[in-house]
Amino acid sequence: MPPLSLSLQFARFPAAAEHRAALPRHRVARYVRSALGEDVQAAEITVRIVDTDEGQQLNRDFRGKDYATNVLTFDYSGAPVVAADLVLCAPVVAREAAELGKPLAEHYAHLLVHGALHAQGWDHETGDEDAEAMEARETEILAALGIAGPYAK
């Protein structure tokens, strides 16, 4: 496994304690590491858990989409040294987990893997083939972690 420098940050919001409990540092590190490709020699990742206002502002300012989304990836460098910020919007993640009938921690695992793949250049918005490849990779990584595939139909 490549070395991982991980910063885990939680914004201040009413349900922060619940989200902090679902994301112990060792699990976050495990999820991110599991998504690192063979060509990655090291990774510097910041994971920030935010509220709806911060999530919406970042999505609007950087993607031109005026709503809070589940995960945003800001990738600064690719392999061999991956550097990125992953920003997860806690209320969106909690809502999606409830809608999917999944434990909050498992949905976070999926989104951390998803964001870490984006940080390495994977992109599901460039076409059906790329989306299918990324979904397959996510499913494979999550299975190795003992988590059910997020795209079961």
Residue 38 token pair:
């063979």
What is the pLDDT averaged over residues 125-143? 93
Give the per-residue pLDDT at 149. 84
Residue 122 lies in a domain: yes
3-state DSSP assignment of residue 93: helix
Is 124 known as a binding-site position?
Answer: yes
Give the per-residue pLDDT at 91. 98
Number of domains in the chain: 1
Give the per-residue pLDDT at 153. 58
What one-character-per-residue DSSP string does 26-54 give? HHHHHHHHHT--TT-SEEEEEEEEE-HHH
Residue 151 lies in a domain: no
Residue 11 lies in a domain: yes
Residue 133 lies in a domain: yes
Residue 38 lies in a domain: yes
* Banded model confidence at residue 132, pLDDT cuts 50, 70, 90: very high
Question: What is the Cα–Cα distance from 31 to 56, expressed in whole angstroms?
Answer: 25
What one-character-per-residue DSSP string does 97-150 give? HHHHT--HHHHHHHHHHHHHHHHTT--SSS-HHHHHHHHHHHHHHHHHTT---T
Q: Please say if the pLDDT value at position 41 is more than 80.
A: yes
Is 107 known as a binding-site position?
Answer: no
Residue 132 lies in a domain: yes
Which domain covers residue 132, as residue numbers?
4-144
- Write the pLDDT tens digit of every residue in 48-101: 999 999 999 999 999 999 999 999 999 999 999 999 999 999 999 999 999 999
Q: What is the mean pLDDT of the chain?
A: 95
CATH number of the domain to which 121 belongs? 3.40.390.30
Residue 123 lies in a domain: yes
What is the pLDDT averaged over residues 114-128? 92
Residue 76 lies in a domain: yes
Question: What is the Cα 75 distance to its own chain's centre?
Answer: 12
